[in-house]
Amino acid sequence: MQYNEFGNTGLKVSRIGYGCAPLGGVYGDFGESACISAIHEAINKGINYFDTAPYYGATKSESVLGNALKNIPRSSYILATKVGRYGLDNFDFTEERVTKSVTESLARLQVDFIDIIQVHDIEFGDISQILTETLPALRKLKEKGIVKYIGVTGLPIACLSRVVLESNDGEIDMILSYCHYNLLDTTLQSIIPMLKKKNIALVNASPLSMGLLSIGGPQPWHPAPQDIKDKCKEAAIKCEDRGASLADVALKFALRNKDIATTLVGMGTVDEVTRNISSCLHADDYDPVLLSDIKDLLKPVADKTWPSG
């Protein structure tokens, strides 16, 4: 497994990270036992970055992850969770709530500290409040050693960019962007120079665009417009016809970007872990003609997104 520098934190993170939304049943019920086995397999194969949130499965993801990691040496993994979002329409970015949220997450995760605490889906909050109340609240926890590093997450690139530019130097250690660096959408590249200049670590989540770039397709709740879904289905069939997997092509594409510290992939079974790690280890082994054909097919919907916030 390759490990990358994580901004100016001193952390070394695995090239592929474990997205824990599936532990909360977001993509179907895998069962806790299967999820725990998957996490243990991931650790055994070198994955050391685990990203969860209270929102995933109404705290279930954190609880399952805590049960999986409780007998694993704390120094062997990096734990990232979030504050601010607790339900589909339940957001609270106040100092009181985010401070309490961290305490609750510590209990569910069965740890004494959290490596990376992130403000979840900032586009649903008041950016001014996040800058003047939420981030300072997390900084107080950082000063106490309860959390080690601070980040923000969201879908709109403009929101992430604004918070980075308007926050104090050194206040934000990382950002998590999702669905903006993959075969469909590469708009994340527009802010990479700024992040590199500020030495802020970049986490790319949803390299399969929350299931769009897979033969199984997205869940019914996926917010993408129908034209995007239709084109992705065409791409998946084309890959199958050529003896390939769209998910493998897409994941390898995302993993080849060397400016991204870790690419988060949601996993719920040992088989998924095995497949994704294989893609990671062989990311430079791909068919350039097939890749070009898939990009051409997706060009009519390239860089299209959907509303959030």
Report, as residue numbers or ranges, the catalytic residues.
56
Cα–Cα distance between 259 and 15 in angstroms, integer? 11
Please work out, in degrees rounded to the nearest 5, the angle formed at the alpha carbon of residue 19 by the alpha carbons of 234 and 216: 25
Per DSSP, the three-state class of 61 is helix
Pairing of strands 78-83, 201-205: unpaired
DSSP string across 100-147: HHHHHHHHHHT-S-EEEEEE--GGGS-HHHIIIIIHHHHHHHHHTTSE
Pull the structure tokens for residue 178: 């999702």
Pull the structure tokens for residue 127: 């950016």
Distances (CA, A) of 193 to 164, 180, 183: 12, 15, 20
Please work out, in degrees rounded to the nearest 5, the angle formed at the alpha carbon of residue 53 by the alpha carbons of 51 and 57: 115
Give the count of beta carbons closer than 10 Å to the beta carbon of residue 47.
Answer: 26
Please work out, in degrees rounded to the nearest 5, the angle formed at the alpha carbon of residue 115 by the alpha carbons of 255 and 122: 70
Distances (CA, A) of 93 to 10, 200, 238: 28, 22, 44
